[in-house]
Structure 1
Amino acid sequence: MNAARGRTGRPPLTEERKAAIRLEIARAAVDLFVAQGVAATTGEQIGQAVGVSARTVWRYFPTKESCVRPLFSTGIDAIADALRQWRPHRPLQEAFDRLWTGDALLPGPDIGALLRLTRTEPGLRAVWLQTHDEAEPVFARVLAERAGLPYDDARPAIRAAMLNAALRAAVEHHAYRTDESATDPGAVRADLVAALRSAVALAAAGIA
Structure 2
Amino acid sequence: MSGGHTTPVGGANPPEGRTGRPPLTERRKAATRLEIAREAVRLFTAKGVAETSAEEIAAAAGLSVRTLWRYFPTKESCVWPLLTAGIDNMARALRTWRPGQDISEVLDEMARTGDDIVQDMPTLLVLVRMTRTEPGLRAVWLQAHDDAEPVFADVFAERAGVPGDDLDTRVRAAMINGALRAAFEHYAWRVADAGSVDEDGLAETMRAALRAATRGVSH
User: TM range, normalised to the smaller chain?
Assistant: 0.7 to 0.9
How much does 1:125 deviate? 0.3
1:33 corresponds to: 44
Matches within 5 A, 1:35-74: 35-74=46-85
In the alignment, is residue 163 of structure 1 matched against residue 176 of structure 2?
Answer: yes
RMSD over aligned Cα, in angstroms?
A: 1.8
The answer to whether structure 1 residue 100 and structure 2 residue 111 are counterparts is yes
Other-structure match for 2:212: 202
> Which residue in the other structure is 2:186 paired with?
173
Deviates more, 1:44-53 or 1:18-27: 44-53
Change (3 A) 1:128 1:182: closer
Match for residue 138 of structure 1 among 151, 165, 172 = 151
Structure 2 letter corresponding to 1:158:
V
Shift in Å at residue 108 of structure 1?
2.9
1:194 is aligned with what amino acid?
Answer: E
1:45-98: per-residue Cα shift (whole Å, max 9, x none)? Answer: 011111111111111000000000000000000000011122234332233312
Match of 1:193 in 2: 203
TM norm structure 2: 0.83
- Cα deviations by residue, 1:157-201 (Å, 9 ceiling, x for unpaired): 00110110011000000000111x35443xx22221111111121
Higher relative contact order (CA 8 A, sep 6+): 2
User: How far apart are the structure 2 equivalents of 1:27 and 1:35?
Assistant: 12
- Gapped regions of structure 1 (runs ≥ 5): 1-12
Q: 1:144 to 1:207 in 2, by over 3 A?
A: farther
Alpha-carbon contact 1:71-1:111 (below 8 Å) kept: yes
Match of 1:128 in 2: 141
Number of residue pairs matched by the alignment: 194
Identity of aligned residues (%): 56
Could you tell me which runs of 5 or more consecutive residues in structure 2 were left unpaired when the two chains were aligned.
1-23
Question: Is the CA contact 1:170–1:199 (under 8 Å) kept in the aligned structure 2?
Answer: yes
Q: Give the Cα–Cα distance (whole angstroms) in 1 for the partners of residues 117 and 212 of structure 2.
A: 19
Determine if contact 1:75/1:104 at 8 Å carries over to the other structure: no
